[in-house]
Amino acid sequence: MNTFLMGEYDVIVVGAGHAGCEAALAPARMGMKTLILSMTLESIAMMPCNPSIGGTGKGHLVREIDALGGEMGLNIDKAFIQSTMLNTSKGPAVHSLRAQADKQQYHNEMKKTMEAQENLDIKQGEVVDLIVENGRICGVTVKTGARYNAKCVILATGTYLKGKIFIGDSATEGGPNGLAPANQLSASLENAGIQLRRFKTGTPARIDGRTVDYSKTTPQYGDEHNVPFSFMNDSIEKKQVPCYLTYTNEKTHEIIRKNLKRSALYGGQIVGIGPRYCPSIEDKIVRFADKERHQSFIEPEGLNTCEMYMQGMSTSLPEDVQVEFYRTIPGLENVKIVRPAYAIEYDCIDSTMLKLSLEHRLIQNLFCAGQFNGSSGYEEAAAQGLIAGINAALKIQEEDPLILDRSEAYIGVLIDDLVTKGTSEPYRIMTSRAEYRLLLRQDNADLRLTEKGRRIGLVSDERYRRFLEKKSLVESELTRLAQTTVGPKDADEFLIKYNSTPLKQRCSLLDLLKRPQITYENLTEIDTGRPFTPGTESAPISGHIAEQIEVQVKYSGYIEKQLLQVERFKKLEEKKLSPDLDYDSMDGLRLEARQKLSKIRPLSIGQATRISGVSPADINVLMIHLEKNRRTADDK
């Protein structure tokens, strides 16, 4: 194929899904001349699966993306049609925001944002070849023969690489949501020495909402008061639409069991590995045979469509079987399927071949993000895209990469898990994966990460002003509560009212707030010195600041314990390992440890401890090696 040069860029992003959008916006906002290439511009920020953003663990990622200066939080705040805070009956560490989206509006708003972004060009074109010279990426070639040169390239190909769609015994080449697959790029990657593997995911059917009998379902409403994802929004007033809950039953299960051999998953057609934590309905019925029913949420795909998403009902069964078992579910007796459910297989990489910066180990200046790295989910993809985009720009600027560790962010947990531990299935973030989750709450993501975003140039003046104001208000109010005291005469009637023990001596308001029965809002009854929001005369301190104060006070003991754990964690992270260490010549290391350490090239003792196959005895060998090197250096 004849090629011709069509442009020179600092950063080129391949793919415009949720990873690609963040990966392109970040370097463009950092002053890099950036190009994003998509097979079709209709796939920009497309939601080929669930019409939602956030959820358990995922909501934390979106807040962190926003705090660093990313776009996902701002975009879902524009496009949501229902918002709910999950896990409110549990502690604040696992509170997670989730919002139903108008899928078309989400796409439209992100496309509009990207089109308006300075330094960013958007082009439609299928990338078929990577240009690699002397172990360094130099650009890409698209199907038309156009070549684009670049200092860095970010691969965010999603589920398009050699995508294959399965519906029963029908197997056709295809990308998500009926789009075309990218069949040529995989060969170029393999020619460059990048090993690929096959993963699988799936999506439920879309049904015609006009054929649902909602009287047989349970409406699920959003929260009365909307909590925004973005720290740039204090509140959003918007009319919300309900979702609907229904359940499978034994008749549903019987039909599925009878047709298991017709499922692409159980019939043997699918070779890719699927996600453990998002199984198909046939997988649920086989794995959880004792369960009499499984829940399914009927979720609207937008305000201007009748299509509804059947959450929890992913399947690769044939279309006739899908119709048959759906119609056994209460409310769906006469349902019509608009788009059948399907499974999709695709090529991705072994994420342990990446550095913590998300740069590939074998090819300099080639960064990777999203489902191409073996993860699942829009939020996981966007988080990786943001970090890949930031680090591509920093590499060009000859600055150190932004690497968030496990004590700083869920993004750090996500990337460390992928790079250090690897994954044998599509990876999904969960709160249980974070050792320090009480410190990594979604409510304090701005306090944890905004300064970092400011240093790299992604946090605007307005965002930084809001951050400093919030930080100042929280700190000054905590000080005031600690310095303001009340005696038994002032507080006992109030404490009895809330079933709390009366005082024996004077006590600070801070100590009173530590009591489980007392909230920050309750304290207004005896706290005459409550401050007001700057610039107003009557409005009390805002809700998100009050929430921050209450969490910090009530959980202070647990927070202090986790901070001590983090100190120990940091000590191991600070024991740096050279990326050029010759592990094969290191006496005392077991063979498996040598192989794993040589492959992953940990940057610290801490990272080495998290590599599967590296034992405590191996860590001791590394510690002895570091100590010998230190003594040798001291002697010199």
Query: Above pLDDT 90, what percent of the chain?
Result: 89
| 421 and 379 in a common domain | yes
| Higher pLDDT among residues 635 and 535, named by residue | 635
Residue 517's pLDDT is 95
Listed residue (459, 376, 377, 411) closest to 64, CA to CA? 411
Helix axes 378-396, 58-68, angle to 10 degrees: 30
Tell me the CATH number at 540.
1.10.10.1800
pLDDT band at 133 (very low <50, low <70, confident <90, very high): very high
**In 196-249, alpha helices (H):** none
Give domain status of residue 127, yes or no.
yes
Number of H helices, E strands in the chain: 20, 22
Listed range (254-268, 397-411, 621-635) with the worst mean pLDDT: 621-635
DSSP 179: P
Beta bridge partners of 273: 199
**Exposed, middle or buried by CB within 10 Å (0-12, 13-18, 19+), for 240?**
middle
* Whether the Cβ atoms of residue 267 and residue 259 lie closer than 8 Å to each other: no
| 525 and 417 in a common domain | no
| 148 and 18 in a common domain | yes
Give domain status of residue 321, yes or no.
yes
Tell me the CATH number at 309.
2.40.30.260
| 581 and 540 in a common domain | no
pLDDT band at 20 (very low <50, low <70, confident <90, very high): very high
Supply 259's token pair.
Answer: 């047709």
Give domain status of residue 461, yes or no.
no
Q: 288: which residues sit within 8 A by CB, 6+ positions away?
A: 294
Residue range 236-264: mean pLDDT, rounded? 95
**pLDDT 10s digits, 314-350:** 999 999 999 999 999 999 999 999 999 999 999 999 9
Please give the mean pLDDT across all residues of the chain. 94
Listed residue (403, 404, 391) closest to 440, CA to CA? 404
* Whether the Cβ atoms of residue 511 and residue 484 lie closer than 8 Å to each other: no
pLDDT band at 537 (very low <50, low <70, confident <90, very high): very low
pLDDT band at 631 (very low <50, low <70, confident <90, very high): confident
Residue 39 has pLDDT above 90, yes or no: yes
Residue 539 has pLDDT above 70, yes or no: no
Give domain status of residue 530, yes or no.
yes
Residue that is written with structure tokens 């934390």 in the block: 60
Identify the domain boundary among 295, 312, 342. 342
Tell me the CATH number at 626.
1.10.150.570
Residue range 211-220: mean pLDDT, rounded? 98
Listed residue (46, 190, 71) closest to 463, CA to CA? 71
| 84 and 40 in a common domain | yes
Residue 67 has pLDDT above 80, yes or no: yes
Cα gap 596→590, rounded to integer Å: 10
Residue range 35-47: mean pLDDT, rounded? 97
Q: 81: which residues sit within 8 A by CB, 6+ positions away?
A: 100, 101, 102, 238, 240, 241, 300, 302, 303
**pLDDT 10s digits, 154-211:** 999 999 999 999 999 999 999 999 999 999 999 999 999 999 999 999 999 999 999 9
Listed residue (204, 411, 397) closest to 308, CA to CA? 204
Residue 267's pLDDT is 80
Give domain status of residue 415, yes or no.
yes
DSSP line for 236-257? -------EEEEE--HHHHHHHH
| 165 and 69 in a common domain | yes
Cα gap 327→248, rounded to integer Å: 10
| 16 and 135 in a common domain | yes
Identify the domain boundary among 560, 584, 619. 560
Residue 538's pLDDT is 40
Residue 534 has pLDDT above 60, yes or no: no
SS3 at position 312:
coil
Cα gap 330→531, rounded to integer Å: 53
SS3 at position 294:
coil
Cα gap 153→45, rounded to integer Å: 19
* Whether the Cβ atoms of residue 518 and residue 491 lie closer than 8 Å to each other: no
Residue range 550-578: mean pLDDT, rounded? 95
Around 590, how many Cα atoms within 13 Å sit in the side-chain half-sphere? 12
Tell me the CATH number at 39.
3.50.50.60
| 377 and 266 in a common domain | no
Looking at residue 232, its amino acid is: M
Residue 535's pLDDT is 44
Give domain status of residue 184, yes or no.
yes
Residue 382 has pLDDT above 60, yes or no: yes
Number of domains in the chain: 4
Residue that is written with structure tokens 């003792």 in the block: 605
Q: Which long-range contacts (CB under 8 A, 24 or more apart) does 534-539 make?
A: 534/469, 534/473
Cα gap 302→54, rounded to integer Å: 17
Residue range 353-378: mean pLDDT, rounded? 97
Give domain status of residue 100, yes or no.
yes
Residue 629 has pLDDT above 90, yes or no: no
Residue range 441-454: mean pLDDT, rounded? 97
Residue range 277-299: mean pLDDT, rounded? 92
**Exposed, middle or buried by CB within 10 Å (0-12, 13-18, 19+), for 220?**
middle
| 255 and 239 in a common domain | yes
**pLDDT 10s digits, 476-515:** 999 999 999 999 998 999 999 999 999 999 999 999 999 9
Residue that is written with structure tokens 């600041």 in the block: 545
By residue range, what is the domain housing residue 497?
480-560
| 166 and 234 in a common domain | no
Residue 540's pLDDT is 56
Q: 157: which residues sit within 8 A by CB, 6+ positions away?
A: 14, 15, 182, 185, 370, 371, 372
| 385 and 524 in a common domain | no
DSSP 420: I
Query: Above pLDDT 70, what percent of the chain?
Result: 98
| 88 and 59 in a common domain | yes
pLDDT band at 397 (very low <50, low <70, confident <90, very high): very high
Residue 531's pLDDT is 67
Residue 271 has pLDDT above 90, yes or no: no
Strands 120-124 and 136-142: unpaired
Cα gap 155→384, rounded to integer Å: 11
Identify the domain boundary among 322, 342, 362. 342
Give domain status of residue 626, yes or no.
yes
